[in-house]
Amino acid sequence: MHTATAPVLDPSADIVDLTAAIVDIESVSGNEAMLADAVEAALRGHAEHLEVIRDGDTVIARTHRGLDRRVLLAGHLDTVPLAGNLPSVRRTREGREELAGRGTCDMKGGVAVFLKLAVEADAAPVDLTWVFYDHEEVAAADNSLTRLAAERPELLAADFAILGEPTSAGVEGGCKGTMKLEVTTRGIAAHSARDWVGENAIHHLAPVLERLAAYEARRAVIDALEYRECLNVVEISGGIAGNVIPDRASALVNYRFAPDTSVEQAEAHVREVLTGLDLEITITDSSPGALPGLGDPAARDFLAALGEGVSVAAKQGWTDVARFAALGTPAVNFGPGDALLAHTDDEHVPLEDLRRSLEALRRWLAVTPR
Amino acid sequence: MHTATAPVLDPSADIVDLTAAIVDIESVSGNEAMLADAVEAALRGHAEHLEVIRDGDTVIARTHRGLDRRVLLAGHLDTVPLAGNLPSVRRTREGREELAGRGTCDMKGGVAVFLKLAVEADAAPVDLTWVFYDHEEVAAADNSLTRLAAERPELLAADFAILGEPTSAGVEGGCKGTMKLEVTTRGIAAHSARDWVGENAIHHLAPVLERLAAYEARRAVIDALEYRECLNVVEISGGIAGNVIPDRASALVNYRFAPDTSVEQAEAHVREVLTGLDLEITITDSSPGALPGLGDPAARDFLAALGEGVSVAAKQGWTDVARFAALGTPAVNFGPGDALLAHTDDEHVPLEDLRRSLEALRRWLAVTPR
C-alpha cells in the first residue's frame, strides 16, 4: 500500500529553508495543486488573523482590520518546465551564497517571502491581501488573475499592489506595454533566372528593416522612472525555394512602449514609422503597460518604509502589474532574484536577496522578527 | 496469374501519338527503368544504323558513318512527381490543340522527337549521338550525365550538343550560371523589452536587402544573345521568439550570372556588392553557365538548316547544356513546349510545337518524312 505524504510548509522556518521547501514542491504550470494545498494549509494553520479563500489552485488570504488602505501582494506558484534543476541546491559561487533550481528566481523566492510575511504581519499599517496564484507562465487567458478579475474582482480590490517578480530586491515600478505586429509584403512569384517578370517580396522588406534599424526609441520619464521604448523585428521569414522569386515575405515587429502610451497610440505610432510603404500590418497581440503610480499615498508609504537603501527603477518588461493597472490599482514589482535568470537552466537566487527583501517588507509592515 | 506487359513504342507513329505513348509510361525520377526499356527496344528494333548502349537507365545510340563532325542530342526520361495528371489528355483549348499531362512539356515531347529522328536520320550530314538519360529532375550528383561524364566521357564526346528542353521550338543558346550564397548576420540576444543590452541580427540584414533591392543587373550580350543577370534574396529567416532580440539572421542569395562570368568571378561580384557589411558569406551551391557557342561551325550549320522561321534567344535558366559546356562542347536548348509550364499541374505541350520541332530537325538532318 502506497501512502502519499502531502508536503508541509513551516512559515516560521528560516527564509532560505522555506524557499527551498517551496521550490522542491514541483509546480510547473498546470501542476500547482500540491503547492497550493501546502500554502493553504500553512496559512490556515499559522495565521488566525487571515481569512483564507481557495479558488481553483489560487490561494487568497486577507486581513479585515478596518484600516484606511488595502495593499495586495501577489506571487505566482507555477514555474516554466524543469531543466533537470530540481531539487534545489544550496551553493556558494564566487563567494556568494545562492539557492539554485527551477523557480528559485521566478518566483518562489518572492512566494516564500510573502508566505512568511502573511503569517507574521498581523499589525501592519494597512489591510493586506495576499494572492498566491497559478498559471502565470502560460497563455494570458489561462492565468488565474484573468479569471479572478472577471469573476471575483472584489478579491483583487486594493489601493496599491506589489508583485513579487524578481527585481533583485529593488522596486521596479509599473511596466511597459507590448504589441506584436505582422508586417507582410507582397510580390509576384517568378523563376529566379527571370526575375524581371516577377517582383521580390523579400526585397520589399528592405525599407522596413532600414527604418527600424535607424529608429531612435523614445525614453519616457514617469514618476522619475525612465521607460526605454524598443521597436524591433523579432522574426522574419520569406521564400518558396532556392530558384523562385518569392511573392510573400513577413516580419514580426515587437513594440515595447512606455506606460503613458495606450495600445491605440502604440499602433498608430508603428503605422507612422512604416508610413508610405506598400505592406499590410496586422496586430497579432497587444497588452497595455502599467503606470508606476508612485505618487499614490500607499506607494509613497511603502517606498518611505523601505528606505534609501532600496533602489527604485522602471520595470522594462511586461508583467502582471499591468493587470492591476487595468483594474485601476497602481502596482510595482518587488522580489528577490535577477530577472535575467528567469527561465534559464542555471536559475538561482542569491540568499542575500531573500533576506534583504524580507527585511525591507518587514520594515514597511511593522513586523518584529520573531 | 499476373503477366506484366512491357509497353511498346512505335517510332514510326505520328509524333503526337508517340509523345502520348512516352508520357503515359510514368517515369518519375528513380522510376525510369520501364521507359528506358521501351526506348532501348524501339531503337534496337527499328534502327540498324545505330549502335545502342544501355548504361543504368540511360540509353545511348550512335551512328558511326565516319563524318567530320558529331552532334549529340540529349533528352531526359524522368519527370517531377505527378499531380494527378496522367494518363495524358489530348484537348483543344482556345482553338489550340494540346497534349496535357506530366512530362508533356518537360520533356517527353523532346524525347519523342529525338526518338523518332534517331530512327529516321540514317543519312544526316553529321554523325549523331542520341542520349536518353535518367535522374535529371533531382540532385546534380544523381544525374546520369554526371556519372557518364566521369566514367565514360567518350560516350558524350561531340562537336556540338542539343538538349531537348522546352523552348517553344526555338533555339535557346547556352545558359546562365547560378550561385547560392548564405549571408549570415550576428547580433547579441536580449529580451525585446531591453534591446539596448542586445544587438538585433535581423536589423543587420537591412543593408543587404537595401543593396539587392536597388541592384541594377547587368545585361550581357554574347553571340547576339542577351543574358539578363539576376541577383535576389530568395529566402530569409531569423528569430528566436516573439520577445527575444535575435542573435542570428540569414538570407539566401541567388545570383544568376551571364555565361561569360566564371563561378569565381560571380562570387567576387556578390562579395563586392555586399562589401563593407558585417556579415558572413558562404557559398552553398554553384554551377557555371554555358556560352552559346553559336559561332561554332556545327552550330552554324544547325541554325542555317532550321531557317529564319525559328527564333534564336538566350537561355536564362540553368540547364544541362552547362554540363556539355564543361566538357568543352557548345550546346543549345531546342524542344517543344513552354518552359514556364514545366513542373506545373497544368503541364502541356502544343501539338504544333511537336510538329514544328520535328520538321525543323528533319530539315537539318536531311530526313524525308516517310
Same-domain pairing of A108 and A32: yes
Query: Is residue B278 a part of any domain in this protein?
Result: yes
Q: Tell whether B265 lies on the interface with A, counting CB pairs under 8 A.
A: no
**What is the pLDDT averaged over residues B318-328?**
91
Q: If we measure between CA atoms, which residue out of A162, A245, A160, A231 comes closest to residue A203? A: A245
Query: Is residue A258 a part of any domain in this protein?
Result: yes
Q: How far apart are CA A217 and CA A228, in angstroms?
A: 7
Residue B174 pLDDT exceeds 80: yes
One-character DSSP codes across A134-160: S--SS-GGG-HHHHHHHH-GGGG--SE
- The percentage of chain B sitting over the pLDDT mark of 90, rounded to a whole number, equals 86
Same-domain pairing of A80 and A206: no
Find cell 511586461 and name the residue.
A318
Residue B11 pLDDT: 97
Residue A260 pLDDT: 95
Query: Is residue A370 a part of any domain in this protein?
Result: no
Q: Tell whether A226 lies on the interface with B, counting CB pairs under 8 A.
A: no
Q: Please judge whether B252 and A236 are an interchain contact, meaning their C-beta atoms are less than 8 angstroms apart.
A: no
Which residues in chain A are contacts of B212 at CB distance < 8 A?
203, 206
- pLDDT tens digit sequence for B188-223: 998 899 999 999 999 999 999 999 999 999 999 999
* Three-state secondary structure call for residue A278: coil
Which residues in chain B are contacts of A233 at CB distance < 8 A?
200, 202-203, 238
Number of domains in chain A: 2
Query: Is residue A3 a part of any domain in this protein?
Result: no
Q: How far is B194 from chain A (nearest CA, A)?
A: 7
Picking from A236, A258, A287, the residue at the C-terminal end of a domain is A287
Q: Which ranges in chain B belong to alpha helices (H)?
A: 15-23, 33-46, 109-120, 144-151, 206-214, 263-273, 297-306, 321-326, 351-364
Nearest to A256 among B193, B210, B213 (CB): B193
Question: What CATH number does the domain containing A128 carry?
Answer: 3.40.630.10
Residues 172-191 of A with CB under 8 A from B: 176, 178, 180, 191
Same-domain pairing of B171 and B272: no
Picking from A235, A256, A287, the residue at the C-terminal end of a domain is A287
Which residues in chain A are contacts of B202 at CB distance < 8 A?
209, 232-236, 251
Same-domain pairing of B224 and B192: yes
Q: How far is A310 from chain B (nearest CA, A)?
A: 22
> Does the active-site annotation cover B136?
yes
Residue B369 pLDDT exceeds 70: no
Same-domain pairing of A161 and A306: yes
Q: What's the pLDDT band for B296 if we cut at 50, 70, 90?
A: confident
Q: How far apart are CA A179 and CA A186, in angstroms?
A: 23
Mutate to test the interface with A, among B215, B235, B252, B318 (most CBs of A within 10 A): B235
Q: What predicted TM-score, i.e. pTM, was given to this entire model?
A: 0.85
Residue B51 pLDDT: 98
- pLDDT tens digit sequence for A149-193: 999 999 999 999 999 999 999 999 999 999 999 999 999 998 899
Same-domain pairing of A119 and A208: no
Q: How far apart are CA A170 and CA A337, in angstroms?
A: 10
Picking from A236, A269, A287, the residue at the C-terminal end of a domain is A287
Q: Please judge whether B194 and A316 are an interchain contact, meaning their C-beta atoms are less than 8 angstroms apart.
A: yes
Q: Tell whether B194 lies on the interface with A, counting CB pairs under 8 A.
A: yes
Residues 317-336 of B with CB under 8 A from A: 317-318
Q: Please judge whether A234 and B241 are an interchain contact, meaning their C-beta atoms are less than 8 angstroms apart.
A: yes
Query: Is residue B9 a part of any domain in this protein?
Result: no
Query: Is residue A1 a part of any domain in this protein?
Result: no
Nearest to A242 among B180, B191, B238 (CB): B180
Query: Is residue A6 a part of any domain in this protein?
Result: no
C-alpha gyration radius of chain A:
24
Mutate to test the interface with B, among A205, A250, A333 (most CBs of B within 10 A): A205
Residues 6+ apart with CB under 8 A from A179: A254, A255, A257, A263, A266, A267, A270, A283, A285, A286, A287
Same-domain pairing of A40 and A89: yes
How high is the mean pLDDT in each 10-residue block of chain A (370 residues)?
72 98 97 98 97 98 96 97 94 97 97 98 97 92 94 95 96 95 95 93 98 98 96 96 93 97 97 98 94 89 90 92 91 94 92 96 86
- pLDDT tens digit sequence for B228-258: 999 999 999 999 888 889 999 999 999 999 9
Mutate to test the interface with A, among B211, B236, B285 (most CBs of A within 10 A): B236
Query: Is residue A79 a part of any domain in this protein?
Result: yes
Q: Range of B184's domain?
A: 177-287
Residue B3 pLDDT: 47
Residues 6+ apart with CB under 8 A from A14: none
Find cell 514618476 and name the residue.
A223
Question: What CATH number does the domain containing A210 carry?
Answer: 3.30.70.360
Residue B62 pLDDT: 98
Residues 6+ apart with CB under 8 A from B68: B126
With beta carbons less than 8 A apart as the criterion, state whether B209 and B251 touch. yes
Residue B13 pLDDT exceeds 80: yes
Residue A370 pLDDT: 59
Same-domain pairing of A281 and A203: yes
Same-domain pairing of A127 and A197: no
Q: Tell whether A249 lies on the interface with B, counting CB pairs under 8 A.
A: yes
Q: How far apart are CA B175 and CA B177, in angstroms?
A: 7
Residue A45 pLDDT: 96
Q: How far is A307 from chain B (nearest CA, A)?
A: 27
Q: What's the pLDDT band for B2 if we cut at 50, 70, 90?
A: very low
Nearest to B234 among A235, A246, A256 (CB): A246
Find cell 512604416 and name the residue.
A274
Same-domain pairing of A162 and A232: no
Same-domain pairing of A165 and A306: yes
One-character DSSP codes across B52-77: EEEETTEEEEE-----S-EEEEEEE-
Instruction: Name the residue of chain B whose CA is nearest to A214's CA.
Output: B203
Same-domain pairing of B182 and B86: no
Q: Please judge whether A202 and B232 are an interchain contact, meaning their C-beta atoms are less than 8 angstroms apart.
A: yes
Residue B177 pLDDT exceeds 80: yes
- The percentage of chain A sitting over the pLDDT mark of 70, rounded to a whole number, equals 98
